[in-house]
Amino acid sequence: MSARLANTVAFVTGGGRGLGAGIATALAEAGAAVAVAARTMAQVEETVASIGAAGGRALAVRCDVTDRESVAAAYAEAKAAFGVPNLLVNNAGVQGPLGPAGLVDTQAWWDTQSVHVLGALLCISAALPDMIANGGGRILNIASQAGTFVAPFASAYAVAKASLIRLTEHIDVEQQDAGVRAFAIQPGTIMTAMAEETLRSEQARAFAKPLVSLLEATTEEESAEGMARLRLFAVALAAGEHDALAGRYVDIEKDIPGNVTGN
């Protein structure tokens, strides 16, 4: 554990596994107090137990990001435990249905928007007033390259991520004078539980063959390097080292200045 982020209070959604757990752990190792939020308490409790065993400060909170009351309660719990969060990480996400737009299950399609876009907005709405009152903060939205081009048969996920990227731009330009900076981050190809689920999905093999091929070609070493890069960037972001990139879509494999990987 270090004291690099000793003054940081972070609220991380989707923190029970995958990218969220990795980011939450990295922030705690750098000295931040971290509220780890997700719908499945067993997962966030496991992440928090791991952080605590290593000497970090973390709190497990149940949070359904699509439910305004659930978000408000989770944020209030984090605030009561650690003080006002000055770093929000919107990581909660789902793959969504795969298939031709207009022919896939419309409710499942809309539910994908609810998790990625409404979920991020509700968390931002909970955190933003305190950030403004306290002179600033940082918002890290986990985006995807799928939000930057047409992804045939994956419209639910692609539209959600495109919307999240544009929401990031709006938040940053509107609130930068208040000291709040927002980032939309493309983390790279990392073999998370959601990626593993995609590989097992018949829908993915039928409608997302390029994605399946990419995941199948990703080695354990490449995935581990990607996670290490994301963890290091999240800490550097929280420390204010990349504010020049605020308000935009950032591919951390290509756009991060300097030697963020430490290699």
* Ranges of each domain in the chain: 9-245
CA distance 204 to 223: 20
Whether the predicted model's global pTM rises above the 0.85 cut = yes
CA distance 176 to 180: 5
Domain 9-245: CATH architecture, name and number where available: 3-Layer(aba) Sandwich (3.40)
Predicted local confidence at residue 209, as pLDDT? 67
Predicted local confidence at residue 258, as pLDDT? 54
What are the pLDDT tens digits along the chain (263 aa)? Answer: 788 999 999 999 999 989 999 999 999 999 999 999 999 999 999 999 999 999 999 999 999 999 999 999 999 999 999 999 999 999 999 989 999 999 999 999 999 999 999 999 999 999 999 999 999 999 999 999 888 888 888 899 999 999 999 999 999 999 999 999 999 999 877 756 776 676 666 776 767 667 767 666 677 787 778 888 899 999 999 999 999 999 999 998 887 655 444 43
Predicted local confidence at residue 259, as pLDDT? 43
Predicted local confidence at residue 263, as pLDDT? 36
CA distance 98 to 109: 9
Predicted local confidence at residue 191, as pLDDT? 59
Tokens of 37: 């939020």
CA distance 123 to 33: 18
Catalytic-residue membership of 249: no
Q: In what order do the strands lie in the sheet with 87-90?
A: 57-62, 33-38, 9-13, 87-90, 137-142, 180-186, 249-251
Tokens of 80: 């009561």
Q: Do residues 122 and 164 touch, judged by C-beta distance below 8 A?
A: no
Marked catalytic residue, from 157, 207, 233, 249: 157
